[in-house]
Structure 1
Amino acid sequence: MDETTVNKIILLMMKRDALDNMLFERAFQKKTRSEFKELSKNQPMVIKIIGMEGEIMPSTIGDYTGMDRSSLTRMIDDLEKKGMVFRKNDPEDRRKVLVSLTDKGLECYNYFNEIVDELLKIVDEKDINELLQSLETMVKIFNKVADRRI
């Protein structure tokens, strides 16, 4: 692959990340109820992940977010203090910890879904399908690269 193509890929990925963050933050800050404004920048994403999974190990959250173990521990501690999540031992393996949403965390998760639904009303079904296909292709490519352990 030539350098021009590589640079274009990198710049498009950076632009995609910046737009994704900007759109969510803009919608989140304008529409979020006061009790959810106390969340830090990455906490809504972690609440979203936990809500989609139901119960999840912190290491799996790290796989989705790229956050290191100590940062995740601090974030989960903070979310626990805010009454959004709780930890429990995995009944099948007591060495493992599972994180779940509290009622307040579930309310926050559902509220985020309303925000995302509102944003997605702007685009049509064809755009959504193209986005999904693009994301699946990106993940497939990144997994190939990750498997090579460069």
Structure 2
Amino acid sequence: MDYNKVAEYFITAVFKRGKAEMMSRFNIHSQGETLVLGYLAKRAGTQILPSEIAKFTRTSTARITTILNNLENKQLVTREMSKTDRRKILVAITDKGQSEADAIRAEACDYLARIFEEMGEERTESFIENFNLFLEIGIRFSQEDNEKAEGKDA
């Protein structure tokens, strides 16, 4: 098998017009306010440093500050000064923010469920298994590439 041709086919398939529109429905969950809100929802009940959010999202703390400003203006998160270290700001999701995050997640799950139902049980199970393998290998390769790059910088 020519894996370069397969890779080219895969990239072309993902970025075709209709497919790009479908993929954009999921990309919204992996960036900006939605990603931050989802992260905070998973950690509900705890206060989180903006630097932790920046690390999770792989964005700058300046970008996180902008996102948090927007979320705070919408009353989806709160920020308060740490009682133990007044230099630190702690972020928490509000009840309204949790409801919003739950609604966003439910909408995404409903959409995926419709797709999986159309695919059928056997294809869905195979897709999930293969996609998980794809992600595991991709993550491993990314980590290896990062380690190589850090070795060159040292």
Normalising by structure 1, what TM-score?
A: 0.67
Deviations 1:87-146 (A, max 9, x none): 245567665433221011000111012112112212223322322222222122111211
2:102 corresponds to 1:110: yes
Aligned length in residues: 132
Structure 1 unpaired stretches of 5+: 29-40
2:88 corresponds to 1:99: no
Matches within 5 A, 1:63-102: 63-89=55-81, 95-102=87-94
Equivalent residue number for residue 47 of structure 1 = 37
Q: 1:130 to 1:52 in 2, by over 3 A?
A: farther
2:63 corresponds to 1:61: no
Normalising by structure 2, what TM-score?
A: 0.66
Alignment partners' CA distance in 2, 1:21 and 1:93:
42
Query: More strand by proportion, 1 or 2?
Result: 1
Query: More helix by proportion, 1 or 2?
Result: 2
Matches within 5 A, 1:128-147: 128-147=128-147
Equivalent residue number for residue 23 of structure 1 = 25
After the TM superposition, which segments of 4 or more aligned residues of structure 1 sit over 6 Å from their partners? none
Q: 1:114 to 1:81 in 2, by over 3 A?
A: same
Equivalent residue number for residue 37 of structure 1 = none
Alignment partners' CA distance in 2, 1:94 and 1:61:
19
Match of 2:111 among 110, 113, 119: 119
Alignment partners' CA distance in 2, 1:50 and 1:93:
21
Larger Rg: 2
Equivalent residue number for residue 34 of structure 1 = none
